[in-house]
Amino acid sequence: MKKLIVGNWKMNGLASSLAEIEALKGLTGEAACDIVVCPPFTLVEKAVERARGSGIAIGAQDCHAQTSGAYTGDVSAEMLAEIGARFVILGHSERRSAYKEMDAVVAGKAAAVHGAGLVSIICVGETREERDEGRAIKVVRAQLEASIPNTATSSNTTIAYEPVWAIGTGLVPTLEQIEEIHSSIRQALEKRLGENGQGVRILYGGSVKASNAKAIFGVSNVDGALVGGASLKASEFAGIITAAA
């Protein structure tokens, strides 16, 4: 399966940061993997313009489950599609913890993303406490089951396994731990989606850098990465993309 590398800029970036997309175009050229950059909402349209003609697709970091209405401050999947976004990250652990986003909310948003013709990147992952208690697989499987809507197919859905304790901390699970969870996610996807479950890409996320990417990409059922901090600088992000080739 062709690998997918997604950069999540989180709440970082002003117009000047778009130069990183320009630099990335030069550094990656004809990359052997799919590349997505998800800047904050304010930069999505401009990023689409900057990335035009390159292999880089642009995504957003969240959206609302409804198409329109009285939802002050929110943005719909249809609005994102109109300005050229192609992917939407959903259920990131920072949103699950800061905004108490439950699995059912994530599933509703994912259905809206699919309805707008976009690809959902649905994030799941256990906390440190849950891992220490031996519940990582159980927690991830439950999140997965409840966060994937019935509209999911292999072409409109990507899963990102992101252990909460590995995000932005420099800590990374062992390759064996990553393999264990990714193979469990694959089984769950096949059970839920049948043949489609085999084609869904499962990304690993949590402190991925150019220096550890190659080893992580060698793990079975790791079909790419969701990258936070290391996606902000084109040179570092390009190192991860090269490792996926």
* Binding-site entries for substrate: 8-10, 168, 207, 228-229
Strand pairing partners for 3? Answer: none
Please say which residue, 160 or 193, places its beta carbon nearer to ligand PEP: 160
| Residue 204 Cβ vs ligand PEP, minimum distance, rounded to whole Å | 9
* Binding-site entries: 8-10, 168, 207, 228-229
| Burial classification of residue 164, based on how many CB atoms lie within 10 Å of its CB (0-12 exposed, 13-18 middle, 19 or more buried) | buried
Question: Which residue's Cβ lies closest to ligand PEP?
Answer: 228
Contact assessment for residue 12 and residue 42, using Cβ atoms and an 8 Å cutoff: no
Contact assessment for residue 230 and residue 208, using Cβ atoms and an 8 Å cutoff: yes
Please say which residue, 188 or 237, places its beta carbon nearer to ligand PEP: 237
Please say which residue, 173 or 229, places its beta carbon nearer to ligand PEP: 229
| Residue 165 Cβ vs ligand PEP, minimum distance, rounded to whole Å | 10
Catalytic center residues: 92, 162
CA distance 239 to 225: 12
| Residue 8 Cβ vs ligand PEP, minimum distance, rounded to whole Å | 5
Burial letters 117-137, b for 16+ CB under 10 A, else e: ebbbbbbbbbbeebbeeeebb
Please say which residue, 61 or 156, places its beta carbon nearer to ligand PEP: 61
| Residue 121 Cβ vs ligand PEP, minimum distance, rounded to whole Å | 10
Contact assessment for residue 63 and residue 80, using Cβ atoms and an 8 Å cutoff: yes
Query: Which positions lie near ligand PEP, rule CB under 6 A?
Result: 8, 162, 167-168, 205-208, 226-230
- Helix H or strand E segment including 80: helix 77-82
